[in-house]
């Protein structure tokens, strides 16, 4: 197997509580590999450490212990220079939760140019990158608009374009759909998945929406700073009791198939998304019909 794009080894993070200088552990001993081009969802209740994990990956926070390799480079090494850090932030981009806190310029295209400008990209190329990034998120016609007049979903798409313009290998979405209405959520999800599909960008999405997590290739469940489960949506959502216990839930589709299986019905197939669930149930009907024909 080729080298993972992200490799963490016994990663831990704790912070000092201001009041009594107590060490508050947030993340314990997290060892994970993420392959280049993977689409991963990280789920966990509030305080489970999922945002902290994301922030460690591009050193918004520095780990207390353990090692992180990005694309083979040890970013936790003391030899990391400022240039290395800049290169890392370019490679691993982050989109945050609040659409109102991420845009800095007064015109959409200037906001998108902000990142590449800071990287010292020549201005002719910046123009090309901005246009391309706008097209990638479907916001070309808003190039000259004022960001504050956009909807939440549009603002998030501009924030995404700002990262695209830096040509990242990996994008982390830290609850980027949490404050959006259903339409905005759909817009952001579509863009996120298209970037993964068409450009092979490694996508890590942190979410409280189980139906969003169900769309990823792989789900990592964090609980109290530890990796509790790591598997396909099918595997993860086949344990609804466990997820409930740690304050999460499963998509209704998965809950339905689980209920039917518990009632003794035999259902083979995937369950995470509504489409998969429908296929699985239809297969059971087909099997029943077949058996009725065979057995009379």
Partner 1 sequence: MSKITLENVSYVYGEGTPFEMHALRDVSFSIRENAVTGLIGHTGSGKSTLVQLFNGLTRPMAGRVLLDGADIWEKPKQIKQIRFRVGLVMQYPEYQLFEETVRADIAFGPKNMGLPADEIEARVREAAELVGLDEALLDHSPFDLSGGEKRRVAIAGIIAMRPEVLVLDEPAAGLDPRGRDRILTQVREYQRRSGATVVIVSHSMEDMARFCDDIVVLARGELVMQGKTDEVFAHADRLAQVGLNIPEISRVCAMLRARGIPMDEGIFTVDAAARCLERLLGATDGEGASTR
Task: Report the residue from 179, 190, 193, 269 that binds partner 1 according to the rule CB under 8 A.
Answer: 179
* Nearest to partner 1 of 167, 257 (CB atom): 257
Task: Report the residue from 110, 193, 260, 269 that binds partner 1 according to the rule CB under 8 A.
Answer: 260
* Nearest to partner 1 of 235, 291 (CB atom): 291
* Nearest to partner 1 of 200, 247 (CB atom): 247
Write down the least CB distance from residue 292 to partner 1, Å: 6
Which listed range, 88-96, 126-134, 208-216, 222-230, lies at the site for partner 1 (CB under 8 A)? Answer: 208-216
Which listed range, 31-39, 106-114, 131-139, 256-264, lies at the site for partner 1 (CB under 8 A)? Answer: 256-264
265 is a contact residue toward partner 1 (CB under 8 A)? yes
Bridge pairing between strands 23-34 and 6-16: antiparallel
Write down the least CB distance from residue 75 to partner 1, Å: 29
Task: Report the residue from 61, 119, 143, 178 that binds partner 1 according to the rule CB under 8 A.
Answer: 178
Contact footprint for partner 1 (CB under 8 A): 44-47, 97, 151, 175, 178-179, 181-184, 208, 210-211, 247-249, 251-253, 255-256, 259-260, 263-266, 268, 274-275, 277-278, 281-282, 284-285, 287-288, 291-292, 295
């Amino acid at each position: 197997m080729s080298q993972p794009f992200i490799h963490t080894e016994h990663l831990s993070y704790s912070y000092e509580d201001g009041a009594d200088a107590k060490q508050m552990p947030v993340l314990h001993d997290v060892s994970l590999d993420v392959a280049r081009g993977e689409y991963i969802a990280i789920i966990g209740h509030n305080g489970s450490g999922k945002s902290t994990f994301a922030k460690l990956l591009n050193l918004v926070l520095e780990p207390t212990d353990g090692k992180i390799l990005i694309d083979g480079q040890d970013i936790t090494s003391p030899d990391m220079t400022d240039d290395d850090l800049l290169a890392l932030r370019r490679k691993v981009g982050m989109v945050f939760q609040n659409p109102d806190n991420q845009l800095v310029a007064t015109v959409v295209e200037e906001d998108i140019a902000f990142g590449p400008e800071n990287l010292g990209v020549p201005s002719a190329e910046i123009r090309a990158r901005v246009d391309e990034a706008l097209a990638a998120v479907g916001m070309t016609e808003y190039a000259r608009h004022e960001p504050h007049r956009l909807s939440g979903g549009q603002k998030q798409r501009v924030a995404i374009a700002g990262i695209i313009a830096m040509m990242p290998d990996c994008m982390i979405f830290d609850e980027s759909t949490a404050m959006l209405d259903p339409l905005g959520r759909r817009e952001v999800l579509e863009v996120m998945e298209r970037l993964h599909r068409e450009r092979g960008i490694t996508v890590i999405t942190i979410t409280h929406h189980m139906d969003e997590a169900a769309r990823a290739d792989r789900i990592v469940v964090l609980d109290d700073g530890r990796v509790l489960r790591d598997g396909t949506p099918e595997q993860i959502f086949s344990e609804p009791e466990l997820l409930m216990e740690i304050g999460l839930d499963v998509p209704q589709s998965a809950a339905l198939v689980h209920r039917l299986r518990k009632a003794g019905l035999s259902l083979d197939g995937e369950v995470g998304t509504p489409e998969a669930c429908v296929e699985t149930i239809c297969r059971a009907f087909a099997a029943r019909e077949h058996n009725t024909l065979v057995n009379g």
